[in-house]
Amino acid sequence: MSMMTPKSYLKYYSSALFIFLLISVVLNYYVDPAYIFDNVHEENIAKLLAEGNHVANIPANINDRSLQSAYINQIKSNQILM
């Protein structure tokens, strides 16, 4: 039986740690539980605002700049912006 040296332990565990971190980053990007990489909420809220509806109970982690951009894209060109 061959014994593992400290260098081989370090190589093994660092590779395992790298793979674990890579899997968690990729999984969090595709699942996106905080909706950081996907602005579906902002587009839906902007659509409701452009139709003249009131919107309440907005999530706390909403991106205001993305919401404003989506709202500007949703409104008709003859409306006045303040």
Q: Say if residue 48 is in the same domain as residue 27.
A: no
Domains: count for the chain:
2
Residues 6+ apart with CB under 8 A from 59: 35, 41
> For residue 55, what are its two tokens?
């919107």
Q: Say if residue 74 is in the same domain as residue 54.
A: yes
> For residue 69, what are its two tokens?
């951009």
- What type of residue sits at position 36? I
**Residue 2 belongs to what domain range?**
1-31
pTM for the whole thing? Answer: 0.58
Dist. CA 21–CA 12, nearest whole Å:
14
Q: Say if residue 56 is in the same domain as residue 80.
A: yes
Per residue in 32-66, pLDDT (tens digit) is 877 777 778 888 999 999 888 999 988 777 888 88
Q: Say if residue 73 is in the same domain as residue 46.
A: yes
Dist. CA 19–CA 75, nearest whole Å:
46
Q: What is the average per-residue pLDDT within 26-33?
A: 85
Dist. CA 11–CA 49, nearest whole Å:
55
